[in-house]
Amino acid sequence: MQKSRCGIVYTLCFVAVVCGQLTKSPENVAGLVGSSATLRCSGSVLGWEEYVTDPTGGSTAISTEGRVYQPNKYVLVTEPTGTYDLTIKSIELKEGGRYRCKGLIVPTSYTSAQVITFSVNPTCSSNTTNYFQAVAGDYVEYSCERKYQGNLTPKMKWTDLSTGEDVKAKDESSAGTVKFSIVVEMTPSHNGDRFTCQTYFDKPQSQDKYADNIPINNNAFNERFTLPKQTVYYGPQILVVHPVQESYHPKDKVKILTDSNPSTRTYVWLNTATNDTLGTSDTITITASMLRSRSIKVIVCNTIPISPAKTICKEHHLNFTKIGKGIVIVSCVKE
């Protein structure tokens, strides 16, 4: 008889344990202020509680046996299969933190997850005095930061969209703020370029002792912010004589090709020996007197419209060598 009673007691205990188990644990989730966040839990669930609003770190009940205490804040979806999903409506930054799903019968049957809340947009800036404008050769620092709350630590990744490559970033984060910065040496190829700052989580996260085995759901939050287009001003680049040919004669026209930003440029052709002005456009006609001087030069300049404005110039020499009867070779010496 005693054995029979023990068998009954054993059976009841077994049923109690099974009934109190949670069959699906919630995943850590993240979202922007104003959006919703859903924590999913299944099994024999007693209710949800949070460890966010109590300043002493204690728990506050959200729901019990299918009923939420603040229906304007929470939505509970329950099904006979054991689903017990909690949605936080229009989350606020301060609501980031630990949430716990409790088993129905066994008090120690529970599992926790983190809700990480983020400010809507990061605050991004650069150290240029002009809004996203720079001069080739400048070192420009960009930084992005955003507020968050919760016990999992986010990161930021910077990407140069012109190359698709990640840019090495410096971590300047502090409690409640994630901040990463980059320093880029500006080149003409960066003109019109855009950089993106992406907030993300590593997998798995193990910094929260209440959710150390639960990876953050990157599908729930993997946000990318694209900065405005970068304007890079630069002076005349490589100067090229056009047309390219081995010999030139009097009355042949020579044009200087180059690139700059802005594209408005000035040209001054000079006799190298006397410094007399020979022309003021991008094209010049070769004359016999030029051939006798054996050398001319062109100075190409453009003005960078960034305060304080400055003018950048590049100089190009054309040296004439006479070979045979009336054949002139033009060699270009870049300086």
pLDDT at 271 over 50: yes
* 136 in Cβ contact with 124 (< 8 Å): no
Work out the burial of residue 62: count CB atoms within 10 Å of its CB; fewer than 13 is exposed, 13-18 middle, 19 or more buried: buried
Write the pLDDT tens digit of every residue in 173-188: 999 999 999 999 999 9
Predicted local distance difference test score (pLDDT) of residue 314: 93
Closest CA to 114 of 223, 20, 207, 222: 207
What's the whole-number mean pLDDT along residues 20-24? 67
Mind listing the pLDDT tens digit for each residue in 102-132?
887 655 567 888 888 999 888 988 887 777 8
Q: Which CATH class is domain 2-118?
A: mainly beta
Structural domain spans, the chain = 2-118, 123-233, 240-334
Per-residue model confidence (pLDDT) at position 264 = 94
pLDDT of residue 3: 39
Mean pLDDT of the chain: 82
User: What was the pLDDT predicted at 216?
Assistant: 52
- DSSP annotation of 272 reads T
In terms of pLDDT, which residue wins out, 109 or 296?
A: 296
Percentage of the chain beyond pLDDT 70 is 82
DSSP code of residue 2: H
Q: What is the CATH number of domain 123-233?
A: 2.60.40.10
Q: How much is the pLDDT for 108?
A: 55
Strand ranges (E), 17-108? 22-24, 29-32, 37-39, 42-43, 45-50, 60-61, 63-64, 67-68, 74-78, 84-88, 97-103
pLDDT tier at 308 (50, 70, 90 boundaries)? confident
**DSSP one-letter code for 169:** -
Contacts by 71-77, CB closer than 8 A, 24 or more apart: 74/48, 76/48
Kindly report, residue by residue over 203-258, the tens digit of the pLDDT. 654 444 444 444 454 444 567 888 889 999 999 998 888 888 777 788 889 999 99
| Contacts of residue 267, Cβ cutoff 8 Å, sequence gap at least 6 | 256, 279, 280, 281, 282, 298, 299, 300
Answer yes or no: same fold for 2-118 and 123-233: yes
